[in-house]
Amino acid sequence: MRVLGIDPGSETLGWAIVEGNGLKYAAVDYGVVKSSARLAFSKRLANIYEGVSQVIDTFQPDSLSIEEAFYAVNVGVALKLGQVRGVVLLLAEQRGMKIAEYAPRLIKQTVVGYGNAEKHQVQQMVKVLLKLKTVPTPHDAADALAIAISHFHHAGSRERIERSAKQSR
């Protein structure tokens, strides 16, 4: 299975490709899609669409693992983040990818063992779990790796629950 992890952001969107089976996985590649804050928001969304499209075309992932929307003090930030997520979710649907969404606290709990972990703790654990030589940077890409790792830890449970639900119908 090849998973595209996405840490949504309108100026810096983190992406990661992680490949594996069950709890054995490895990083294939990771990076960011950058958009200038000076651009109109619609142009940033178009840039995100193009950047993530290129990642999908290059690596052909089976699944998208994306961070769920979270509560934000600034409503404007939350709305923009929702629009970024919408662009990525649309792309995944258009490409026929399976989609999984994970809460930020669950991602940190899965990777670090603590739901309120700091960015540097996530980066260090991603380095350890993926056996990387250096800490992945920027933190947006490290977060995308953590989101993809979370999918490997939770996808099996989700599939068993879905199978069980289908069988009971």
Question: How much of the chain, in percent, has pLDDT values that exceed 70?
Answer: 91
Mean pLDDT of 134-163: 86
Residue numbers of the domain that contains 42: 2-168
Neighbours of 102 (CB within 10 A): 21
Is 68 in the active site?
Answer: no
- pLDDT at res. 71: 64
- Rounded CA-CA distance 87/6 in Å is 12
Is 7 in the active site?
Answer: yes
* pLDDT at position 130 over 90: yes
Catalytic residue from among 140, 143, 159, 162: 140
* pLDDT at position 142 over 90: yes
Using pLDDT thresholds of 50, 70 and 90, give the confidence band for residue 46. Answer: very high
Catalytic residue from among 19, 67, 93, 159: 67
* pLDDT at position 14 over 80: yes
Mean pLDDT of 54-62: 98
Is 29 in the active site?
Answer: no
- pLDDT at res. 34: 97
CATH of the domain at 161: 3.30.420.10
Mean pLDDT of 110-115: 90
Handedness of CA 47, 50, 55, 60 (dihedral sign): positive
Average pLDDT, the chain: 92
Domain count, the chain: 1
Mean pLDDT of 23-36: 96
E strand or H helix that includes residue 66: strand 63-67
Using pLDDT thresholds of 50, 70 and 90, give the confidence band for residue 161. Answer: low
